[in-house]
Structure 1
Amino acid sequence: MNYTYEYARAALTVDCVIFGFDGERMQLLFIKRALAPYQGTWALPGGFVHVDESLDDAAKRELQEETGLTDVFLEQLYTFGQLGRDPRERVVSVAYFALVNRFSHTLQAATDAADARWFAMQELPVLAFDHAHIVEVALARLRGKLRYEPIGFELLPKKFRLSQLQALYEAVLGQTLDKRNFRKKVLGYDLLIPLEETQRDGAHRPAQLFRFDTKRYQQLKKKGFSFEL
Protein backbone atom coordinates (compact mmCIF):
# COMPACT_ATOMS: atom_id res chain seq x y z
CA MET A 1 0.00 0.00 0.00
CA ASN A 2 1.39 3.41 -0.96
CA TYR A 3 1.03 6.53 1.17
CA THR A 4 1.40 10.07 -0.13
CA TYR A 5 1.21 13.13 2.11
CA GLU A 6 1.44 16.77 1.14
CA TYR A 7 2.48 17.97 4.60
CA ALA A 8 5.13 16.97 7.12
CA ARG A 9 3.88 14.51 9.71
CA ALA A 10 4.92 13.16 13.09
CA ALA A 11 6.37 9.69 13.57
CA LEU A 12 4.49 7.29 15.85
CA THR A 13 6.06 5.08 18.53
CA VAL A 14 4.95 2.90 21.44
CA ASP A 15 6.56 2.58 24.89
CA CYS A 16 5.88 -0.10 27.50
CA VAL A 17 5.99 0.46 31.26
CA ILE A 18 6.29 -3.00 32.85
CA PHE A 19 5.85 -3.31 36.63
CA GLY A 20 7.09 -6.27 38.68
CA PHE A 21 7.38 -7.11 42.39
CA ASP A 22 10.26 -9.01 44.02
CA GLY A 23 8.42 -9.69 47.28
CA GLU A 24 9.60 -6.49 48.94
CA ARG A 25 9.94 -3.72 46.38
CA MET A 26 8.20 -2.61 43.20
CA GLN A 27 10.37 -2.95 40.13
CA LEU A 28 10.38 -1.64 36.57
CA LEU A 29 11.75 -3.24 33.43
CA PHE A 30 14.14 -1.25 31.23
CA ILE A 31 16.32 -1.96 28.24
CA LYS A 32 19.76 -0.52 27.51
CA ARG A 33 19.76 1.19 24.13
CA ALA A 34 22.24 -0.25 21.66
CA LEU A 35 21.75 2.54 19.10
CA ALA A 36 21.81 6.33 19.02
CA PRO A 37 20.30 8.50 20.28
CA TYR A 38 21.01 7.83 23.97
CA GLN A 39 23.15 4.80 23.13
CA GLY A 40 24.08 2.96 26.33
CA THR A 41 21.29 4.66 28.31
CA TRP A 42 18.40 2.80 29.94
CA ALA A 43 14.95 3.28 28.46
CA LEU A 44 11.47 1.81 28.33
CA PRO A 45 10.97 -1.03 25.85
CA GLY A 46 9.41 0.35 22.69
CA GLY A 47 9.92 1.58 19.17
CA PHE A 48 8.36 2.81 15.97
CA VAL A 49 4.97 1.54 14.81
CA HIS A 50 4.94 -0.17 11.40
CA VAL A 51 2.43 1.14 8.87
CA ASP A 52 0.82 -2.30 8.60
CA GLU A 53 0.21 -3.00 12.31
CA SER A 54 -2.06 -1.76 15.07
CA LEU A 55 -0.80 0.07 18.15
CA ASP A 56 -1.46 -2.96 20.35
CA ASP A 57 0.42 -5.25 17.99
CA ALA A 58 3.34 -2.83 17.82
CA ALA A 59 3.59 -2.68 21.62
CA LYS A 60 3.53 -6.48 21.92
CA ARG A 61 6.10 -6.87 19.15
CA GLU A 62 8.53 -4.33 20.59
CA LEU A 63 8.20 -5.81 24.08
CA GLN A 64 8.95 -9.30 22.81
CA GLU A 65 11.81 -8.20 20.55
CA GLU A 66 13.59 -6.12 23.18
CA THR A 67 12.92 -8.12 26.37
CA GLY A 68 11.68 -11.58 25.39
CA LEU A 69 8.37 -11.09 27.26
CA THR A 70 5.29 -12.62 25.65
CA ASP A 71 1.66 -13.20 26.68
CA VAL A 72 1.59 -9.94 28.61
CA PHE A 73 -1.68 -8.01 28.89
CA LEU A 74 -0.86 -4.41 27.95
CA GLU A 75 -3.23 -1.58 28.84
CA GLN A 76 -3.02 1.73 27.03
CA LEU A 77 -1.81 4.43 29.41
CA TYR A 78 -1.51 7.83 27.74
CA THR A 79 -0.28 9.60 24.61
CA PHE A 80 2.85 11.73 24.92
CA GLY A 81 3.43 14.33 22.21
CA GLN A 82 5.49 17.15 23.70
CA LEU A 83 7.75 18.98 21.27
CA GLY A 84 11.42 18.03 21.41
CA ARG A 85 10.90 14.69 23.16
CA ASP A 86 13.03 12.92 20.54
CA PRO A 87 16.14 14.57 19.00
CA ARG A 88 15.69 12.73 15.68
CA GLU A 89 12.32 14.05 14.59
CA ARG A 90 8.81 14.94 15.72
CA VAL A 91 7.63 11.84 17.56
CA VAL A 92 4.34 11.04 19.29
CA SER A 93 4.35 8.02 21.60
CA VAL A 94 1.45 5.92 22.83
CA ALA A 95 2.47 4.40 26.16
CA TYR A 96 1.23 1.12 27.59
CA PHE A 97 1.64 -0.42 31.02
CA ALA A 98 1.42 -3.93 32.41
CA LEU A 99 1.78 -5.86 35.65
CA VAL A 100 3.68 -9.13 35.46
CA ASN A 101 4.93 -11.79 37.82
CA ARG A 102 8.59 -11.22 37.10
CA PHE A 103 9.60 -14.72 38.20
CA SER A 104 7.38 -16.26 35.51
CA HIS A 105 9.26 -14.57 32.67
CA THR A 106 12.80 -14.89 31.39
CA LEU A 107 14.40 -11.74 30.00
CA GLN A 108 16.24 -11.83 26.70
CA ALA A 109 17.41 -8.60 25.09
CA ALA A 110 17.56 -8.48 21.30
CA THR A 111 17.25 -6.21 18.21
CA ASP A 112 18.26 -2.68 19.29
CA ALA A 113 18.40 -3.52 23.02
CA ALA A 114 21.84 -4.35 24.42
CA ASP A 115 20.44 -5.50 27.77
CA ALA A 116 17.15 -5.89 29.66
CA ARG A 117 16.99 -5.63 33.43
CA TRP A 118 14.66 -5.10 36.39
CA PHE A 119 15.29 -2.03 38.59
CA ALA A 120 13.83 -1.33 42.02
CA MET A 121 11.55 1.71 42.10
CA GLN A 122 13.86 3.41 44.60
CA GLU A 123 16.94 2.82 42.44
CA LEU A 124 15.88 3.83 38.93
CA PRO A 125 18.67 4.73 36.49
CA VAL A 126 18.85 7.89 34.40
CA LEU A 127 16.39 7.33 31.55
CA ALA A 128 16.46 8.32 27.89
CA PHE A 129 13.99 10.68 26.22
CA ASP A 130 11.07 11.66 28.49
CA HIS A 131 10.73 8.15 29.90
CA ALA A 132 11.09 9.30 33.51
CA HIS A 133 7.92 11.35 33.05
CA ILE A 134 6.13 8.39 31.43
CA VAL A 135 7.06 6.25 34.44
CA GLU A 136 5.61 8.89 36.80
CA VAL A 137 2.31 8.90 34.92
CA ALA A 138 2.20 5.07 34.91
CA LEU A 139 2.88 4.89 38.65
CA ALA A 140 0.09 7.37 39.36
CA ARG A 141 -2.28 5.24 37.26
CA LEU A 142 -1.17 2.08 39.07
CA ARG A 143 -1.72 3.63 42.50
CA GLY A 144 -5.16 4.81 41.49
CA LYS A 145 -6.26 1.46 40.05
CA LEU A 146 -4.85 -0.49 42.98
CA ARG A 147 -7.29 1.25 45.31
CA TYR A 148 -10.43 0.12 43.47
CA GLU A 149 -9.40 -3.00 41.50
CA PRO A 150 -7.58 -6.14 42.69
CA ILE A 151 -4.92 -5.79 39.99
CA GLY A 152 -2.10 -6.32 42.48
CA PHE A 153 -2.64 -10.07 42.45
CA GLU A 154 -1.13 -10.17 38.97
CA LEU A 155 2.21 -9.28 40.55
CA LEU A 156 2.12 -12.08 43.12
CA PRO A 157 2.63 -15.84 42.85
CA LYS A 158 -0.62 -17.80 42.47
CA LYS A 159 -0.18 -18.88 46.10
CA PHE A 160 0.78 -16.09 48.48
CA ARG A 161 0.91 -15.07 52.13
CA LEU A 162 -1.12 -12.14 53.42
CA SER A 163 2.14 -10.50 54.42
CA GLN A 164 3.22 -10.60 50.76
CA LEU A 165 -0.03 -8.96 49.70
CA GLN A 166 0.37 -6.20 52.28
CA ALA A 167 4.01 -5.67 51.30
CA LEU A 168 2.87 -5.22 47.70
CA TYR A 169 0.29 -2.58 48.58
CA GLU A 170 2.76 -0.74 50.78
CA ALA A 171 5.39 -0.79 48.01
CA VAL A 172 2.99 0.62 45.41
CA LEU A 173 1.30 3.18 47.64
CA GLY A 174 4.52 4.21 49.36
CA GLN A 175 3.04 4.06 52.87
CA THR A 176 2.82 1.71 55.84
CA LEU A 177 -0.55 0.02 56.37
CA ASP A 178 -1.97 -1.21 59.66
CA LYS A 179 -1.62 -4.98 59.63
CA ARG A 180 -4.85 -5.80 61.49
CA ASN A 181 -7.04 -3.40 59.51
CA PHE A 182 -5.55 -4.47 56.18
CA ARG A 183 -6.15 -8.17 56.80
CA LYS A 184 -9.65 -7.60 58.13
CA LYS A 185 -10.64 -5.63 55.05
CA VAL A 186 -9.02 -7.99 52.54
CA LEU A 187 -10.52 -11.12 54.08
CA GLY A 188 -13.88 -9.39 54.44
CA TYR A 189 -14.35 -9.32 50.67
CA ASP A 190 -14.34 -13.13 50.64
CA LEU A 191 -12.18 -13.19 47.51
CA LEU A 192 -9.25 -15.09 48.95
CA ILE A 193 -9.35 -18.88 49.03
CA PRO A 194 -7.46 -20.24 52.09
CA LEU A 195 -5.23 -23.17 51.20
CA GLU A 196 -4.12 -26.09 53.31
CA GLU A 197 -0.54 -25.02 52.74
CA THR A 198 1.90 -22.87 54.66
CA GLN A 199 5.11 -21.06 53.85
CA ARG A 200 7.76 -19.76 56.20
CA ASP A 201 8.05 -15.99 56.29
CA GLY A 202 11.70 -15.36 57.12
CA ALA A 203 12.41 -16.22 60.74
CA HIS A 204 8.70 -16.22 61.62
CA ARG A 205 6.54 -19.30 61.94
CA PRO A 206 4.97 -20.73 58.76
CA ALA A 207 2.07 -18.62 57.46
CA GLN A 208 -1.02 -19.82 55.65
CA LEU A 209 -1.16 -19.45 51.88
CA PHE A 210 -4.09 -18.02 49.91
CA ARG A 211 -5.23 -17.88 46.30
CA PHE A 212 -7.23 -15.10 44.65
CA ASP A 213 -10.68 -16.24 43.50
CA THR A 214 -10.76 -14.70 40.01
CA LYS A 215 -14.03 -16.38 39.03
CA ARG A 216 -15.90 -15.05 42.07
CA TYR A 217 -14.50 -11.56 41.53
CA GLN A 218 -15.71 -11.49 37.90
CA GLN A 219 -19.16 -12.60 39.03
CA LEU A 220 -19.31 -9.88 41.70
CA LYS A 221 -17.95 -7.27 39.30
CA LYS A 222 -20.88 -7.84 36.92
CA LYS A 223 -23.17 -6.97 39.82
CA GLY A 224 -21.40 -3.66 40.43
CA PHE A 225 -19.01 -4.86 43.13
CA SER A 226 -16.13 -2.44 43.93
CA PHE A 227 -12.86 -3.65 45.45
CA GLU A 228 -11.56 -0.81 47.63
CA LEU A 229 -8.68 -0.78 50.08
Structure 2
Amino acid sequence: MVAVDLTVLTIRDGRMNVLLVRRGVPPYKGRWALPGGFVLDEEDLDEAAARELREETGIGGHLEQLASYGAPRRDPRGRVVSVAYLALIPGAPTVTAGTDAAAASWHPVDELPTRLAFDHERILADGIERARAKLEYTPLAAAFCPPAFTIGELRSVYEAVWGTALDPRNFHRKVTGTEGFVESTGTATAGERGRPAQLYRRGDAVTLYPPLLRPPG
Protein backbone atom coordinates (compact mmCIF):
# COMPACT_ATOMS: atom_id res chain seq x y z
CA MET A 1 0.00 0.00 0.00
CA VAL A 2 1.13 3.54 -0.78
CA ALA A 3 0.22 6.55 1.35
CA VAL A 4 1.01 10.26 1.52
CA ASP A 5 1.76 12.19 4.71
CA LEU A 6 1.88 15.98 4.89
CA THR A 7 4.11 18.24 6.97
CA VAL A 8 2.30 21.59 6.82
CA LEU A 9 4.14 24.46 8.51
CA THR A 10 3.24 28.06 9.21
CA ILE A 11 4.30 30.88 11.53
CA ARG A 12 1.83 31.84 14.24
CA ASP A 13 2.41 34.28 17.09
CA GLY A 14 6.11 34.36 16.27
CA ARG A 15 6.53 30.56 16.48
CA MET A 16 6.71 27.85 13.84
CA ASN A 17 3.59 25.70 13.93
CA VAL A 18 2.68 22.37 12.34
CA LEU A 19 -0.79 21.29 11.28
CA LEU A 20 -1.93 18.14 13.09
CA VAL A 21 -5.11 16.07 12.90
CA ARG A 22 -6.55 13.91 15.65
CA ARG A 23 -7.21 10.48 14.21
CA GLY A 24 -10.85 9.45 14.32
CA VAL A 25 -10.31 5.81 13.29
CA PRO A 26 -7.90 2.99 14.20
CA PRO A 27 -5.00 2.52 14.30
CA TYR A 28 -3.96 5.16 16.83
CA LYS A 29 -7.53 6.45 17.20
CA GLY A 30 -7.45 9.65 19.25
CA ARG A 31 -3.71 10.22 18.66
CA TRP A 32 -2.43 13.35 16.91
CA ALA A 33 -0.82 12.77 13.52
CA LEU A 34 0.22 14.52 10.35
CA PRO A 35 -2.56 14.80 7.74
CA GLY A 36 -2.45 12.05 5.13
CA GLY A 37 -3.94 8.86 3.78
CA PHE A 38 -3.80 6.19 1.12
CA VAL A 39 -3.31 6.94 -2.58
CA LEU A 40 -6.36 5.99 -4.63
CA ASP A 41 -6.03 3.76 -7.69
CA GLU A 42 -6.68 6.56 -10.18
CA GLU A 43 -4.43 9.15 -8.50
CA ASP A 44 -0.82 10.10 -8.85
CA LEU A 45 1.09 11.08 -5.72
CA ASP A 46 0.72 14.84 -6.09
CA GLU A 47 -3.04 14.55 -6.60
CA ALA A 48 -3.37 12.35 -3.52
CA ALA A 49 -1.40 14.80 -1.37
CA ALA A 50 -3.52 17.77 -2.49
CA ARG A 51 -6.75 15.82 -1.91
CA GLU A 52 -5.76 14.70 1.57
CA LEU A 53 -4.83 18.27 2.52
CA ARG A 54 -8.25 19.54 1.39
CA GLU A 55 -10.26 16.67 2.87
CA GLU A 56 -8.62 16.54 6.30
CA THR A 57 -8.03 20.26 6.92
CA GLY A 58 -10.12 22.30 4.49
CA ILE A 59 -7.14 24.26 3.13
CA GLY A 60 -4.96 24.14 0.03
CA GLY A 61 -1.39 25.13 -0.72
CA HIS A 62 1.78 24.37 -2.67
CA LEU A 63 3.23 20.96 -1.80
CA GLU A 64 6.67 19.57 -2.57
CA GLN A 65 7.92 16.03 -2.07
CA LEU A 66 10.02 15.64 1.05
CA ALA A 67 11.10 11.97 1.30
CA SER A 68 9.84 8.39 1.28
CA TYR A 69 9.42 6.18 4.35
CA GLY A 70 9.13 2.40 4.15
CA ALA A 71 10.22 0.73 7.39
CA PRO A 72 8.60 -2.74 7.56
CA ARG A 73 6.56 -2.09 10.73
CA ARG A 74 5.87 1.62 10.46
CA ASP A 75 2.12 0.91 10.08
CA PRO A 76 0.37 -1.84 12.11
CA ARG A 77 -2.08 -2.47 9.22
CA GLY A 78 0.65 -3.96 7.04
CA ARG A 79 3.46 -2.90 4.72
CA VAL A 80 2.80 0.75 3.85
CA VAL A 81 5.24 2.98 2.00
CA SER A 82 4.57 6.67 2.58
CA VAL A 83 5.67 9.55 0.37
CA ALA A 84 5.89 12.65 2.55
CA TYR A 85 5.18 16.17 1.35
CA LEU A 86 6.08 19.58 2.75
CA ALA A 87 3.84 22.65 2.58
CA LEU A 88 4.76 26.10 3.89
CA ILE A 89 1.56 28.10 4.42
CA PRO A 90 1.55 31.84 5.24
CA GLY A 91 -1.06 33.36 7.48
CA ALA A 92 -1.97 30.33 9.65
CA PRO A 93 -5.41 29.89 8.04
CA THR A 94 -8.33 28.44 9.97
CA VAL A 95 -8.52 24.67 9.51
CA THR A 96 -11.47 22.30 9.77
CA ALA A 97 -11.34 18.54 10.27
CA GLY A 98 -12.94 16.28 7.70
CA THR A 99 -13.32 12.63 6.59
CA ASP A 100 -11.56 10.39 9.15
CA ALA A 101 -10.01 13.24 11.20
CA ALA A 102 -11.72 14.03 14.52
CA ALA A 103 -10.01 17.42 14.83
CA ALA A 104 -7.44 19.60 13.07
CA SER A 105 -5.39 22.42 14.58
CA TRP A 106 -2.03 24.21 14.57
CA HIS A 107 0.59 23.29 17.18
CA PRO A 108 4.00 24.87 17.97
CA VAL A 109 6.68 22.46 16.75
CA ASP A 110 8.56 22.80 20.04
CA GLU A 111 5.46 22.02 22.11
CA LEU A 112 3.70 19.02 20.56
CA PRO A 113 0.63 17.78 22.47
CA THR A 114 1.78 14.14 22.71
CA ARG A 115 3.72 11.47 20.87
CA LEU A 116 2.55 11.44 17.25
CA ALA A 117 1.07 8.39 15.53
CA PHE A 118 3.09 6.10 13.24
CA ASP A 119 6.56 7.49 12.46
CA HIS A 120 5.26 11.03 12.06
CA GLU A 121 7.71 12.54 14.52
CA ARG A 122 10.54 11.51 12.20
CA ILE A 123 8.70 12.88 9.16
CA LEU A 124 8.02 16.14 10.99
CA ALA A 125 11.69 16.46 12.00
CA ASP A 126 12.76 15.97 8.38
CA GLY A 127 10.21 18.53 7.22
CA ILE A 128 11.39 21.12 9.73
CA GLU A 129 15.00 20.63 8.67
CA ARG A 130 14.03 21.03 5.00
CA ALA A 131 12.21 24.29 5.80
CA ARG A 132 15.18 25.60 7.78
CA ALA A 133 17.55 24.77 4.95
CA LYS A 134 15.31 26.41 2.33
CA LEU A 135 15.51 29.70 4.21
CA GLU A 136 19.27 29.61 3.78
CA TYR A 137 19.34 29.53 0.00
CA THR A 138 15.90 30.74 -1.21
CA PRO A 139 13.81 33.88 -0.53
CA LEU A 140 11.05 31.72 0.93
CA ALA A 141 10.91 33.70 4.20
CA ALA A 142 9.47 36.72 2.37
CA ALA A 143 6.37 34.66 1.52
CA PHE A 144 5.45 34.71 5.22
CA CYS A 145 5.53 38.53 5.31
CA PRO A 146 2.92 41.06 4.12
CA PRO A 147 3.42 42.57 0.63
CA ALA A 148 5.37 45.45 2.21
CA PHE A 149 7.47 44.53 5.23
CA THR A 150 10.32 45.73 7.39
CA ILE A 151 13.61 43.92 7.72
CA GLY A 152 12.65 43.35 11.35
CA GLU A 153 9.52 41.48 10.27
CA LEU A 154 11.59 39.37 7.89
CA ARG A 155 14.08 38.66 10.65
CA SER A 156 11.27 37.45 12.91
CA VAL A 157 10.43 34.78 10.29
CA TYR A 158 14.00 33.51 10.28
CA GLU A 159 14.08 33.51 14.07
CA ALA A 160 10.82 31.53 14.27
CA VAL A 161 11.91 28.90 11.74
CA TRP A 162 15.51 28.60 12.89
CA GLY A 163 14.58 28.81 16.56
CA THR A 164 17.30 31.30 17.46
CA ALA A 165 17.78 35.04 17.92
CA LEU A 166 19.69 36.91 15.20
CA ASP A 167 21.75 40.08 15.45
CA PRO A 168 19.57 42.84 13.89
CA ARG A 169 22.40 44.85 12.30
CA ASN A 170 24.19 41.86 10.87
CA PHE A 171 20.93 40.44 9.49
CA HIS A 172 20.00 43.79 7.91
CA ARG A 173 23.39 44.01 6.22
CA LYS A 174 23.19 40.48 4.82
CA VAL A 175 19.62 40.78 3.54
CA THR A 176 20.02 44.14 1.84
CA GLY A 177 23.38 43.05 0.44
CA THR A 178 22.00 39.89 -1.19
CA GLU A 179 21.13 40.70 -4.78
CA GLY A 180 17.46 40.29 -5.66
CA PHE A 181 16.31 39.24 -2.19
CA VAL A 182 14.43 42.41 -1.25
CA GLU A 183 13.90 45.78 -2.85
CA SER A 184 12.89 49.06 -1.27
CA THR A 185 9.33 50.32 -1.70
CA GLY A 186 10.47 53.88 -1.18
CA THR A 187 8.19 54.20 1.84
CA ALA A 188 8.52 53.75 5.58
CA THR A 189 6.38 52.82 8.54
CA ALA A 190 4.32 55.62 10.06
CA GLY A 191 2.36 56.18 13.22
CA GLU A 192 4.62 54.03 15.35
CA ARG A 193 6.81 54.96 18.28
CA GLY A 194 10.46 55.43 17.49
CA ARG A 195 12.27 55.93 14.21
CA PRO A 196 10.27 54.97 11.05
CA ALA A 197 11.50 51.75 9.44
CA GLN A 198 12.08 51.36 5.71
CA LEU A 199 9.57 49.10 3.95
CA TYR A 200 10.66 46.44 1.46
CA ARG A 201 9.05 43.93 -0.88
CA ARG A 202 10.27 40.62 -2.22
CA GLY A 203 12.76 40.86 -5.09
CA ASP A 204 13.06 38.66 -8.16
CA ALA A 205 15.76 36.31 -6.90
CA VAL A 206 15.03 32.58 -7.02
CA THR A 207 18.10 31.58 -5.04
CA LEU A 208 20.16 33.58 -2.57
CA TYR A 209 23.85 34.15 -3.22
CA PRO A 210 25.60 34.23 -0.93
CA PRO A 211 23.21 32.13 1.19
CA LEU A 212 22.08 33.26 4.64
CA LEU A 213 23.61 30.55 6.77
CA ARG A 214 22.20 29.54 10.13
CA PRO A 215 24.27 30.41 13.20
CA PRO A 216 26.33 27.45 14.45
CA GLY A 217 24.46 25.26 16.92
After TM superposition, the score normalised by the length of structure 1 is: 0.84
Q: Indicate the structure (1 or 2) with the bigger Cα radius of gyration.
A: 1
Shift of 1:113: 1.0
Shift of 1:141: 1.4
Partner of 1:17: 7
Partner of 2:21: 31
Partner of 1:119: 107
Q: Does 2:157 correspond to 1:168? A: yes
Q: Is the 8 A contact 1:27 1:119 kept in 2?
A: yes
Q: Is the 8 A contact 2:135 2:141 kept in 1?
A: yes
Cα distance between partner residues in 2 of 1:40 and 1:176: 36
Shift of 1:102: 2.9
**1:227 to 1:62, Cα distance in 2 relative to 1, 3 A:** farther
- Partner-residue secondary structure (3-state), 1:183: helix
Q: Does 2:127 correspond to 1:138? A: yes
Partner of 2:146: 157
Q: Does 2:42 correspond to 1:59? A: no
**1:227 to 1:199, Cα distance in 2 relative to 1, 3 A:** farther
| Aligned pairs, number | 209
1:198 to 185, 189, 199: 189
Shift of 1:85: 0.8
- Partner-residue secondary structure (3-state), 1:102: coil
Shift of 1:204: 5.6
Q: Percent identity?
A: 45
Q: Does 2:59 correspond to 1:76? A: no
Partner of 1:90: 79
Q: Does 2:94 correspond to 1:106? A: yes
Residue type at the aligned position of 2:26: A
Cα distance between partner residues in 2 of 1:204 and 1:135: 40
Cα distance between partner residues in 1 of 2:79 and 2:17: 30
Q: Is the 8 A contact 2:188 2:196 kept in 1?
A: no
**Could you report, residue by residue, the CA deviation over 1:79-107 in whole angstroms, capped at 9, with x for unpaired residues?**
0001211111111100000111134x331
Cα distance between partner residues in 2 of 1:160 and 1:33: 38
Farther-moved stretch of structure 1 (154-163 vs 191-200): 191-200
Q: Which runs of 5+ in 1 are unaligned?
A: 1-10
Cα distance between partner residues in 1 of 2:88 and 2:107: 14
- Partner-residue secondary structure (3-state), 2:189: strand
- Partner-residue secondary structure (3-state), 1:114: strand
Partner of 1:4: none
Structure 1 runs, 4 residues or longer, greater than 6 Å off: none
Q: Is the 8 A contact 2:178 2:209 kept in 1?
A: no
Cα distance between partner residues in 2 of 1:199 and 1:114: 45
- Partner-residue secondary structure (3-state), 1:123: coil
> How much is the aligned-residue C-alpha RMSD, in angstroms?
2.0
Q: Does 2:211 correspond to 1:228? A: yes
Give the number of the structure whose residues are more often helix, by fraction: 1
Residue type at the aligned position of 1:120: P
Residue type at the aligned position of 2:109: M
Cα distance between partner residues in 1 of 2:188 and 2:54: 35
Q: Does 2:180 correspond to 1:210? A: no
Q: Is the 8 A contact 1:16 1:96 kept in 2?
A: yes
Cα distance between partner residues in 1 of 2:191 and 2:177: 24
**Could you report, residue by residue, the CA deviation over 1:139-162 in whole angstroms, capped at 9, with x for unpaired residues?**
111222211111122222323222
Q: Which runs of 5+ in 2 are unaligned?
A: 213-217
- Partner-residue secondary structure (3-state), 2:55: helix
**Could you report, residue by residue, the CA deviation over 1:151-174 in whole angstroms, capped at 9, with x for unpaired residues?**
122222323222121121122222
